[in-house]
Amino acid sequence: MTTDWQALTRLTQGRHMTVERVRLTDDDLVIEGSFELPQLAQLSVEDQVFITAFVKSHGSIKEMERIYGLSYPTIKARLTRLSDGLEFVETNPSPSRVEILERLAGGDITPDEAIKELEAQK
């Protein structure tokens, strides 16, 4: 599976790509549409390997220096370049107006709580 992504990444050479069909193999379910690849999948194979090594080393730049045989400033510069190219993904997004109203209708929140959440969106 990893080699499939690497081959695809090499084939596209960093060009923008959209996936139009996804198959969930366990359920034999196919979804068709227009899907953006996750940010990390859009990186070059080399950058994907670098980030994987960084995560596997628990974020240790010292360990990355050992693995790659590069200096601290070189590792740090590459991490900065990669970081600057990635958008921050909101991990706790505000609920939509519809979600708030559904929670209110379901009795999960009080009318006062719903009003507070709706006003916070303004």
pLDDT digits (tens, 9 = 90+) for 51-63: 999 999 999 999 9
Is residue 34 situated within a structural domain? Answer: no
Average pLDDT over residues 36-47: 84
Domain that holds residue 46: 39-85
For the cut 90, the answer to whether the pLDDT of residue 105 exceeds it is yes
Distance CA 9, CA 2 (A): 11
98 with 115, same domain? Answer: yes
Q: Per DSSP, what are the bridge partners of residue 29?
A: 24
pLDDT category, 14, cuts 50, 70, 90? Answer: low
Is residue 23 situated within a structural domain? Answer: no
For the cut 70, the answer to whether the pLDDT of residue 5 exceeds it is no
Lowest-pLDDT range of 25-34, 59-68, 69-78, 87-96: 87-96
45 with 70, same domain? Answer: yes
- Top-confidence residue, 79 or 88: 79
77 with 110, same domain? Answer: no
For the cut 60, the answer to whether the pLDDT of residue 1 exceeds it is no
112 with 75, same domain? Answer: no
Is residue 1 situated within a structural domain? Answer: no
122 with 99, same domain? Answer: yes
71 with 45, same domain? Answer: yes
